[in-house]
């Protein structure tokens, strides 16, 4: 069934392309979101069609927020989900697909949106949250890289963006999760543009990282929580990636993440390890998670989804549903907590002032550490 002219124009707008969306063999033609298969991986043009259908079917709850362009001039798009309210609303952020090869991450963002929209009418708790909180969900942040990872088997494990290399180097792309202004370039990065963890020529050199920064900065006084979804490893990571420096509310972050891990385990028995990256993964800098906490967003988490290495980034499609079911339970656990916890101190001037003090202290510690 062909999209109507109006829907096709919206699809093109969301995709940010001057060309008609691809129609590869075997791709889905979407009449309603009820036709969408949430248990398979989808190329970008199918995700784009799904996004515009979500907006069409839920105009009172969902709107589109195009908040930037990728290096290749495609739109970076969030779905803003929330019930209309006369008062100022809080915000919860979620992005998926910052690393192109982590296909389970965009699959989860789509699952999350489906669950919210399917259940809010009959779930009084969720409806109350949507009356007071707007969710900003970016199903695919690294659109260029994600599309590149779909070309063929030789590109399937592409991680980075698709920006052109600096002078003297032949390798494309930057690791977007090393490009944020959070101790940029200090540890767990490479200055070699051919490496997977190349951090870019400077903080926010990449348009994708810059776009997230601009939008989140504009919302930070109202933002309760920042989620960034990755794979793999079955981890819930809290700030900070820089060793021997902890967030001022580290104990609470760990407590909340541990409760989320318990919620995840209750679904299919899967264990998710909780901790700061130096303790449970590896030290790193320039991540969006750390940056979000540094600017005053009180709760910031990285979820690393299934598995623990058996399939890695090539997680089979038959694991999409159980992965999404368990992680949704973990994310809901955190959402419920931060919603109940919300107070003036969680956002606005108090949080920003606290963040400013902590950022100054952190910068001093990092500078001192760099001299050792």
Does residue 145 surpass a pLDDT of 50?
yes
Structure confidence at residue 28 as a pLDDT band (50, 70, 90): low
pTM as predicted? 0.86
Residue 329: the pLDDT is 98
SS (H, E, C) the chain: CCCCHHHHHHHHHHHCCCCCCCCCCCCCCCCCHHHCCCCCCCCHHHHHHHHHHHHHHCCCCEEEEEEEECCCCCEEEEEEECCCCCCCCEEEEEEECCCCCCCHHHHHHHHHHHHHHHHCCCCHHHHHHHHHEEEEEECCCCHHHHHHHCCCCCCCCCCCCCCCCCCCCCCCCCCHHHCCCCCCCCCCCECCCCCCCECCCCCCCCHHHHHHHHHHHHHHHHEEEEEEEEECCCEEECCCCCCCCCCCCHHHHHHHHHHHHHHHHHHHCCCCEEECHHHHCCCCCCCHHHHHHHCCCCEEEEEEECCCCCCHHHCCHHHHHHHHHHHHHHHHHHHHHHHHHCCHHHCHHHHHHHHHHHHHHHHHHHHHHHHC
Does residue 269 surpass a pLDDT of 60?
yes
Give the least confident one: 17-21, 295-299, 306-310: 17-21
- Of the candidates 304, 317, 325, 326, the residue annotated as catalytic is 304
pLDDT tens digits, 82-121: 999 988 999 999 999 999 999 999 999 999 999 999 999 9
pLDDT tens digits, 310-356: 999 999 999 999 999 999 999 999 999 999 998 433 344 334 444 44
**Which domains does the chain possess?**
5-371 (3.40.630.10)
Structure confidence at residue 157 as a pLDDT band (50, 70, 90): very high
Residue 352: the pLDDT is 42
User: How confident is the model over 213-237, as a mean pLDDT?
Assistant: 98
Burial of 301-321, coded b for 16+ CB within 10 Å and e otherwise, reads bbbbbbbeeeeebebeeebbe
Please give the C-alpha separations between residue 194 and each of 3, 80, 141, 160, 173, in angstroms, as whole numbers.
Answer: 41, 36, 21, 10, 8
Residue 27: the pLDDT is 57
**Spatial distance between the Cα atoms of 7 and 30, rounded to a whole number of angstroms:** 11
More confident residue, 5 or 235: 235
Does residue 248 surpass a pLDDT of 60?
yes
Q: Catalytic: 304?
A: yes
Query: CA nearest 7: which of 32, 42, 24?
Result: 32
Does residue 16 surpass a pLDDT of 80?
no
Residue 244: the pLDDT is 82
Give the least confident one: 15-19, 54-58, 245-249: 15-19
Q: What is the mean pLDDT of the chain?
A: 88
Sheet containing strand 75-81, strands side by side? 62-69, 75-81, 133-138, 90-96, 223-231, 299-305, 235-237, 273-275
Asked if residues 145 and 129 have their Cβ atoms less than 8 Å apart, the reply is no
């Amino acid at each position: 069934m062909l999209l109507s002219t109006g829907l096709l124009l919206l699809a093109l707008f969301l995709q940010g392309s001057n060309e008609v969306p691809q129609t590869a063999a075997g791709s889905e033609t979407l009449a309603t979101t009820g036709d969408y298969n949430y248990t398979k991986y989808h190329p970008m043009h199918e995700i784009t069609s799904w996004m515009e259908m979500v907006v069409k079917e839920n105009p009172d709850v969902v709107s589109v927020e195009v908040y930037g362009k990728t290096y290749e001039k495609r739109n970076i798009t969030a779905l803003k989900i929330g019930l209309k309210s006369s008062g100022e609303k809080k915000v919860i952020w979620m992005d998926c697909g910052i690393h192109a090869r982590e296909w389970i991450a965009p699959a989860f963002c789509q699952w999350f949106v489906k669950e919210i929209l399917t259940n809010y009418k009959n779930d009084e708790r969720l409806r109350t949250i949507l009356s007071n909180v707007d969710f900003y969900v970016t199903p695919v942040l690294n659109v260029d890289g994600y599309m590149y990872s779909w070309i063929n088997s030789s590109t399937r494990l592409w991680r980075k963006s698709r920006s052109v290399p600096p002078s003297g180097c032949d390798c494309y792309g930057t690791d977007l999760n090393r490009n944020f202004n959070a101790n940029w370039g200090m540890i767990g990065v490479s200055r070699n543009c051919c490496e997977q963890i190349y951090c870019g020529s400077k903080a926010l050199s990449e348009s994708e990282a810059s776009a997230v920064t601009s939008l989140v900065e504009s919302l930070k006084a109202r933002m309760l929580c920042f989620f960034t979804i990755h794979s793999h490893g079955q981890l819930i990571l809290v700030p900070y990636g820089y060793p021997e420096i902890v967030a001022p509310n580290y104990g609470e972050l760990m407590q909340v993440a541990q409760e989320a891990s318990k919620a995840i385990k209750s679904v299919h028995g899967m264990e998710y390890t909780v901790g700061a990256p130096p303790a449970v993964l590896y030290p790193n800098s320039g991540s969006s998670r750390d940056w979000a906490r540094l600017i005053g967003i009180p709760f910031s988490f990285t979820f690393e989804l299934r598995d623990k290495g058996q399939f890695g980034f090539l997680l089979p499609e038959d694991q999409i549903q159980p992965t999404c079911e368990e992680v949704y339970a973990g994310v809901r656990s955190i959402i419920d907590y931060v919603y109940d916890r919300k107070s003036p101190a969680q956002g606005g001037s108090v949080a920003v002032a606290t963040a400013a003090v902590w950022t100054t202290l952190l910068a001093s510690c990092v500078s001192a550490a760099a001299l050792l």
